[in-house]
C-alpha cells in the first residue's frame, strides 16, 4: 500500500507513472493512468526516468535501483531506507491552498505520520478559508499606494484580527466588518466563505 500512496501523490502532481514489479496489487493495476510492467527489475529499466521510488520488500532490488539511479543521476527514494535515497518525501498536510511538510530526515516515517495527524488536527478548515480570502484580496491590497510596509501592515492586521474566529463560527457579518475596517471597502464573501 506504500507504493499505492506514492503513486497517488505522483499522479496528483501530474507525473507520468510507470510501475515495474513481478506482482502488482489490485489497487495499482486498476489505475488507468499508470503504465504497468509485470516483471523483475533489471538494469536499464530506469531509462527515461527522471524520478524513481523503490517500494519493494526486497533489499537487493532496492539497492540495485538506488545504485542504478545514482549512476544515471536520477533522483531516487527507497522507502524506509534513507541511506539509499538521494531525496526524502515529507508527510504533507493539505488544507485548501495551505500545504505543510513534515520530515524527520527519513529516520522515522512513523513519527512523521504521527506528527502529520496531530498537527493536521490543529489546522481547521477556517485556515483554508482565510487563505482563500487573503488570496482574493491580495491583488486589491497590492494595487494600492503606500508601498510594501503599508501592504504588510494590512495583511498583518487581518491575520491577527478576529477574522479567523469569525470564519470558524460562520459569522459572515463580523468577517465582512473586519475586512471593511482593514480595507476601507466592502468585500463580498459570498463566493469564498462556505457558510
Cα of first residue to Cα of last residue in the chain, in angstroms, is 37
Structure confidence by residue, pLDDT tens digits, 72-101: 999 999 988 889 999 988 888 999 999 999
Q: What is the pTM of this model?
A: 0.71
pLDDT at 194 over 80: no
56, HSE (Cβ side, Cα atoms, 13 Å): 21
Question: Domain boundaries in the chain?
Answer: 2-89, 90-123, 125-183
Q: Report pLDDT for 184.
A: 80
**Options 3.30.160, 3.40.50, 1.20.120, 2.160.20; CATH of 90-123:** 3.30.160
Distance CA 102, CA 119 (A): 9
DSSP string, the chain: -HHHHHHHHHHHTT--EEEEESS--HHHHT-TTEEEEES---TTTTTT-SEEEE--S-HHHHHHHHHHHHHHT-EEEETT-GGG-SS---EEEEETTEEEEE--TTS-HHHHHHHHHHHHHHS-HHHHHHHHHHHHHHHHHHTSSSHHHHHHHHHHHHHTSTHHHHHHHT-HHHHHHHHHHHHSS----TTT---
Q: Which fold has domain 2-89?
A: Rossmann fold (3.40.50)
Average pLDDT over residues 178-187: 81
Regarding predicted confidence, which is higher, 40 or 145?
40
Q: For the segment 23-69, what is each residue's pLDDT rounded down to a tens digit? A: 999 999 999 999 999 999 999 999 999 999 999 989 999 999 999 99
User: Which triple of cell numbers denotes residue 9?
Assistant: 501523490
Amino acid at each position: 500500500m506504500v507504493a499505492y500512496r506514492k503513486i497517488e501523490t505522483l499522479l496528483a502532481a501530474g507525473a507520468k507513472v510507470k510501475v515495474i514489479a513481478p506482482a502488482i496489487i489490485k489497487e495499482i493495476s486498476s489505475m488507468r493512468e499508470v503504465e504497468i510492467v509485470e516483471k523483475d527489475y533489471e538494469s536499464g529499466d530506469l531509462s527515461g526516468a527522471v524520478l524513481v521510488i523503490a517500494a519493494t520488500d526486497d533489499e537487493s532490488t532496492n539497492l540495485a535501483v538506488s545504485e542504478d539511479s545514482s549512476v544515471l543521476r536520477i533522483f531516487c527514494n527507497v522507502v524506509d531506507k534513507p541511506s539509499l535515497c538521494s531525496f526524502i518525501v515529507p508527510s504533507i498536510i493539505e488544507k485548501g491552498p495551505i500545504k505543510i511538510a513534515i520530515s524527520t530526515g527519513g529516520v522515522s516515517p512513523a513519527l512523521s505520520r504521527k506528527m502529520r495527524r496531530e498537527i493536521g488536527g490543529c489546522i481547521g478548515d477556517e485556515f483554508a478559508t482565510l487563505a482563500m480570502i487573503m488570496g482574493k484580496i491580495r491583488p486589491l491590497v497590492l494595487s494600492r499606494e503606500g508601498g510594501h510596509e503599508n501592504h504588510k501592515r494590512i495583511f498583518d492586521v487581518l491575520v491577527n484580527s478576529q477574522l479567523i474566529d469569525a470564519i470558524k463560527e460562520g459569522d459572515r457579518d463580523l468577517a465582512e466588518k473586519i475586512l471593511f475596517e482593514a480595507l476601507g471597502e466592502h468585500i463580498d464573501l459570498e463566493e469564498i466563505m462556505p457558510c
